[in-house]
Amino acid sequence: MKRFRGFVIKEFYHIFRDYRTLLILFGMPAVQLLLFGYVLTNEIKDAKIAIYDPSKDVVTRKISEKILSSGYFILEKNLNTVAEIDPVFRQGEVKLALIFEPDFAKKLEKSGTAHVQIIGDASDPNTANMLVNYASGIISNFLVSMNSENVPMQIVPEVRMMYNGELKGVYMFVPGLMAMLLMLISALMTSLSITREKELGTMELLLVSPLRPAQVIIGKVFPYVFLSFIDACIILGLGNAVFGMPIRGSVALLLLESFLYITMALSLGILISSITSSQQVAMMLSLVALMLPTILLSGFIFPVENMPGILQVFCHIMPPKYYITIIKSIMLQGNGLEYVWRETLILIGFTSVFLLLSIKKFNVRLA
């Protein structure tokens, strides 16, 4: 029993001396609890909306103020014409639009009924449905407070969903799954390919060849660019043929953006392989560091606007977030490069940084 107790104490000492084991035991559960606790929420806050109010009377101003003071919405833009609604949605910032009819207060007073149109961006159907319900509920509460003092009146909300009138969930999941699968396949396969050479000891043979280190890296990655691109085409084809996912914009632009995203993911895989020495470590790093952040912090499932400020910062350094925005913009809204140029430049920036870091790190390891 004494020997057993001594053995157990020795194991405790061994664990406490290994900071990596302690980090996994205590750090990972705490981080995941905080991450999931803040991200996994159905609450809506600070959703950007646009308002078109041709009436500009006391009632419409009160309704607008009540909606904006609820904490769920912030005003992005006051519209001057109905024609501005579609361009505002296409820019990707506004999630909801309120359209008051002309002479709103006069019609409410004379006939007892007035209409307000609530338009949601249903490219993210869950969020759009919640936003419409929140806005309708606030208008209903306002109407209750009015009817308690005056003759019963009625404000009729007319709901319209843009880009996904049937609120199909597949319109949200196909872009997100495409971003996640391409990221995992591209980064994982590239990192494993190079670390396999290191484990087998054949990397040295490649390095003594006439090829430069950069050429070795590009040569290892080159086949995966085309294989991953074929994967992207398969996902797009299945999404369209099986699930009815539309492609309203340019197919050529969509494929070019997918090619750029794949190149970015492959360059990240190269970076992972340059800082790891075994396939097991590379696989764990690729899965843990890429899959969970892609699901939680890319806006794939949970709206970025709902998250705390510090998590929103992390969201903006997640490449899948920009690719999902590009896919939805092209496939659902039919937009061209003029609407996604900013996201495209950001992906180009990520690709350049990852490639430069990986080549630099690769050269350092050779030295």
Q: Do 117 and 195 fall into the same domain?
A: no
Local confidence band at 28 (pLDDT 50, 70, 90 cut-offs): low
159 pLDDT higher than 50: yes
Is the model more confident about 1 or about 120? 120
User: Is the same domain home to 219 and 135?
Assistant: no
Q: Which of 328, 356, 267, 353 is nearest to 89 (CA)?
A: 328
182, 285: one domain: yes
Q: Which domain holds residue 189?
A: 170-366
Residues 181 and 137 in one domain: no
- Which structure tokens are listed for 209? 């060849």
**Structure confidence at residue 366 as a pLDDT band (50, 70, 90):** very low
Same domain (yes/no): 138, 266: no
**Phi, psi (deg, nearest 5) at residue 282:** -65, -40
Same-domain check for residues 138 and 187? no
The amino acid that residue 107 corresponds to is K
For residue 55, the domain's CATH number is 3.40.1710.10
> How many Cα atoms occupy the beta-carbon half-sphere of 240 within 13 Å?
12
pLDDT digits (tens, 9 = 90+) for 223-273: 788 888 888 888 888 888 888 888 899 999 999 999 999 999 888 888 887
pTM of the entire predicted model: 0.82
Query: Which among 201, 224, 212, 351 is positioned nearest to 277, based on CA atoms?
Result: 201
- DSSP structure string for 135-178: HHHHHHHHHHHHHTTSS--EEEEEEEEES-TT--THHHHHHHHH
Share of the chain above pLDDT 90, in %: 18
Give ∠ CA 339-91-38 in degrees, rounded to 5: 115
Under 8 Å between Cβ of 322 and 297: no
Round the average pLDDT of the chain to a whole number and report it.
81
Is 355 in the same domain as 250? yes
- DSSP conformational letter for 305: G
Q: Quick one: 209 and 336 in the same domain?
A: yes
Euclidean distance between CA atoms 364 and 366, whole angstroms: 5
Q: Is 39 helix (H, G, I), strand (E, B) or coil?
A: helix
Is pLDDT larger for residue 62 or for residue 166?
A: 62
- Which of 112, 130, 162 is a domain's end point? 162
Tell whether 204 and 238 lie within a shared domain: yes
124 and 218 in one domain?
no
| Beta-ladder partners of 52 | 79, 99
Give the residue among 31, 195, 45 at the shortest CA–CA distance from 127: 45
Do both 140 and 232 map to the same domain?
Answer: no
Q: Which of 12-21, 141-150, 237-246 has the weakest average pLDDT? A: 12-21
- Residues 293 and 341 both lie in one domain: yes
